[in-house]
Structure 1
Amino acid sequence: MRTPQTATPAIEVQGLEKGFGELEVLRGVDFEVARGSIFALLGSNGAGKTTAVRILSTLLKADAGTARVGGFDVAAQPGQVREAISPTGQFAAADEVLTGRENLILVAKLRHLKNPGAIADDLLARFSLTDAGGRKAATYSGGMRRRLDIAMSLIGNPSVIFLDEPTTGLDPEARIEVWQTVKDLAQRGTTVLLTTQYLGEAEELADRIAILHQGRILQSGTLTELKQLLPPAKVEYVEKHPSLEEVFLALVGDNGTNGAAGTDTTSNDK
């Protein structure tokens, strides 16, 4: 695990509440995210994860409570918050008609940055997409699209990045690719707030985890601290019957030359 920078938290949330009509989505949420760390907001569908991220991204207004990102109040200083963050949604936002490089150049131009081509080439190299940079994004695998999406989010060097369910719909190999990308972000000093419903994802990536359920934080802490909430499991002897595979291997031996009854020793199969 990384050692997060000891300074004012990158994200501070206190008493956050949000409802839609009679539906209470967030009911007094509190948490802090240290600078340069990966923080996982873990919860099932409907727990309120995306709503919390939308409030922190200034896309929604909270009904009550306060939230600060990068030292700025999301309600009173939304412009400064937007300059400090980059949100990435559940699905890749790359334009599939454009090439990977063209997508990056487009975002750099929209941010009015100098040398957009150089910025694009640097990010393609950083995310191991240089060889695919000239191909249309529509031809990319799921993992490649996600890496391109995250690369686009980093244009302008935001200090905080929100990853909302970043591996939804990805196969195991692509998921591992994205995990490595997220780890690299934190190693470079970027603060990452990750929302996920995958227990293994939070366990693999997060420095700290908060469990959000029905709009409330049930518990938060490091993985070790959370595991200590339950007593260790007792290991008991359970009788296990041999499988057919085990019977077969025991009969034929490791090299298959035991001459067990019923074995066709004249076979030419190798």
Structure 2
Amino acid sequence: MKKLPIYIIFISFFTFINCVEDISQDFEFKEQVFISGLLTSEEGFVSIQVQKTVPVTDTSFSAINDAQISLFTRDVSNNTSLVSDSFTINNGIYTTSEMITPIIGNTYWIEVLLQDQTVLISEEEILRPPIPITDMVKTEDSIRITFNGPIDVQNFYLIHLEILKDGVIISDELIVSNDRIINEEEEKILVITGMNEGETLRVDISNINFTTFQFYSNVISNQGNEPEVSSLFLPVNLVGNITNTATDELVLGNFGVAGVTPITIDF
């Protein structure tokens, strides 16, 4: 797929490598459950993927279709409620039967009951507000996006880029960044170059929590320099924020919460 030059002015994208522990892929394979999902601030259906890992030499997909999933929330008054426990299942992808309207400032998490009665619970994450876009400047082959990140808190960003040509995706990339080291400037600038006439750029800038930032950092670092959204599920130790309640140990996968700002630009 097409690879674009992408820059964030306030900090290098690859500084996360220094704060994420290196993970060796030299290990004896042991089948494990892997869970992945991302709830955003946009109203819509929430999807969670549940599968088993496979050996690195195996290109098959091992879906789990017999789990039970519950999505919970807690509001600012500390009231807990069930958001949904009704999901349609398609090849390991569990999608809420009804559209969900997330609330900024609430915390969200999932509980997954496996067939063997193992219970897996994700860490409670707060739904942070979407990132305000203050300016966009488009040239013949690039886009400059200016957004604000509050300077009184540490901010973590997940950026999803899609390039389409005639309705077909020709580039699909994930990028993580943060301003933990340099957080003196509220204004941040994202520059994407290398666009061609007739292409469409879709950008999602997500305001995420630190644990989810670490998880996607591991995903990208294990994928090398050309990560793709469709390749999140690798037989490596991608530990996120999900805990086995019986053993109190973290397991593979992550259920994140993100305040998302979507942008679409035609060239």
TM bracket, shorter-chain basis: under 0.3
Structure of larger gyration radius: 1
Instruction: Give the TM-score taking structure 2 as reference length.
Output: 0.25
Instruction: Give the TM-score taking structure 1 as reference length.
Output: 0.25
